[in-house]
Amino acid sequence: MPADVAIVGYGRTPYSRAKPGERVYTVDEYIAWAADLALQKAGMSKNDFNDQGLGVAHAEAAHTVNWSASVAETLGISPQVLIRADQGGASASAMLIRATALIRAGIIDRALIVGADTPLSIPSAAPGLPLSPERTRGPYWDFQGPFGVMGATAQFALVQMRYQHQFKLASEQLGKIAVTTRHHASLNPEAIYRKPITMQEYLDSRVLSDPIRLLDCVPIVNGGLAYIVTSAKTARTLTTKPVYLKGFGEANNYYHGSRTLPDVTTTGFAKAAPQALAMAGVKHTDIDFFEPYDDYPFVVMMTIEDWGFCRKGEGGRFVEERNLRFDGDFPLSTDGGQLSGGQPGGAIGGFMPLIEVVTQLRGEAGARQVRNAAIGASCGFGGIPYGRPGRSCVSLIFGAEA
């Protein structure tokens, strides 16, 4: 793909665990805050997006009618095009693909893409259970909630248990992902959990839903993120460090096998990643660092396999054999990921891998900077279909050079 679009700015607000006494920001406030940071980084103003594009990720807490238009009104921006994504953790990545198509078609020159959520401040059925109204209606809920399914942790535990039945996977292999990403979080002042953990602490953490442990689970936070994408031509007038989109691939509602009795151990990345690699014209070995959607270490391991970094069933061994640190031979989740960084709702956490790739390729990652980072890959992974993993899978490949 020609390097004709680039990211020129990004922003990530501080995250909050909404502890008693803390100022609780609204989704609107987080969106404006993240957009402000991205605009400052790009040297732009909100008015540069009048008659251009505004992308808004779905927010569970806000969930009003005409959500994207309502955000435009709140921000005082009058865009020509509204891009709205409701693909959960794939939303941020999917909106980049939509914006790219619009820019290439000459309809717009640039887009501001925003997302925020406050899952810890949703009126809930019980404390600590962010059961928003939209999660608890329709046949999807009616045939899970009353049956005793305990959310994402149980849903992924079922997939992991099946995987472990078909393939070899050791707890220490997943533990290595959790321990390494926590190390990266310790180097990232913006991460929520920064105190290093040991393998023994991982193995000793209590099992919530066999085989998933507490330290396998993503901590939920309130927060917002944003990025700005423009034509490459405009990008070069704004910054000396545009980050070019080199390739993308997307798979929605992917089935491995039949629709009624699929094999759940392969995700849509098996389809999306080869598309992205072919479009970018790069090989796996050209990718300097990898930013998966990491709500569970097991999801990271499956993502690595389905991208084709190793064969199906060998992800555990791959993780064991490679050095996953930012200064290793397979740098992984270099910002600490969502696992230690925090997840501002399932929908907004998907901005984090994309923004970390941009941060790295601009050389702005500080103590966790991957040396000579030239090509990076990130993932969007969103929604949990009934009995399977991952409704939407998006693979993105970026480069520091056009």
Q: Which residue ranges make up the site for another protein (CB under 8 A)? A: 125-126, 129-131, 133, 135-154, 157-159, 161-162, 165, 206-212, 258-261, 264, 386-387
- Tokens representing 311? 């064969």
- Residue from 160, 61, 99 nearest 384 by CA: 160
* Nearest approach, Cβ of residue 223 and another protein (Å): 20
Task: Please identify, using beta-carbon distances, which residue of 130 and 316 lies nearer to another protein.
Answer: 130
Could you tell me which residues come within 8 angstroms of residue 356 by beta carbon, excluding any fewer than 6 positions away? 291, 333, 334, 335, 365, 378
* Nearest approach, Cβ of residue 70 and another protein (Å): 25
* Nearest approach, Cβ of residue 59 and another protein (Å): 18
* Nearest approach, Cβ of residue 312 and another protein (Å): 17
Residue listed under structure tokens 């396998």: 216
22 phi, psi to nearest 5 deg: -75, 145
* Nearest approach, Cβ of residue 189 and another protein (Å): 30
Task: Please identify, using beta-carbon distances, which residue of 101 and 125 lies nearer to another protein.
Answer: 125
User: What DSSP designation does 336 have?
Assistant: -
Task: Please identify, using beta-carbon distances, which residue of 114 and 159 lies nearer to another protein.
Answer: 159
ω into residue 389 within 30 of 0, thus cis? Answer: no
User: What DSSP designation does 276 have?
Assistant: H
Contact 294, 181 (CB under 8 A): yes
Task: Please identify, using beta-carbon distances, which residue of 260 and 372 lies nearer to another protein.
Answer: 260
Task: Please identify, using beta-carbon distances, which residue of 104 and 162 lies nearer to another protein.
Answer: 162
Could you tell me which residues come within 8 angstroms of residue 261 by beta carbon, excluding any fewer than 6 positions away? none
For residues 366-401, one letter each, b for 16 or more C-beta atoms within 10 angstroms of the residue's C-beta and e for the rest, the string is eebbbeebebbbbbbbbbbbeebbbbbbbbbbbbbe
* Nearest approach, Cβ of residue 154 and another protein (Å): 5
Please give the helix or strand (H or E) that residue 392 lies within, else none.
strand 392-399
Q: For residue 16, give the 3-state DSSP assignment.
A: strand
Q: Please state, in angstroms and rounded to a whole number, the distance separating the CA atoms of residues 190 and 212.
A: 26
Q: Please state, in angstroms and rounded to a whole number, the distance separating the CA atoms of residues 239 and 340.
A: 31
Q: Please state, in angstroms and rounded to a whole number, the distance separating the CA atoms of residues 256 and 210.
A: 24
Task: Please identify, using beta-carbon distances, which residue of 143 and 321 lies nearer to another protein.
Answer: 143
Task: Please identify, using beta-carbon distances, which residue of 101 and 207 lies nearer to another protein.
Answer: 207
Task: Please identify, using beta-carbon distances, which residue of 155 and 180 lies nearer to another protein.
Answer: 155
* Nearest approach, Cβ of residue 3 and another protein (Å): 39
* Nearest approach, Cβ of residue 150 and another protein (Å): 5
Length of the chain as a residue count: 402
- Tokens representing 99? 């914006």
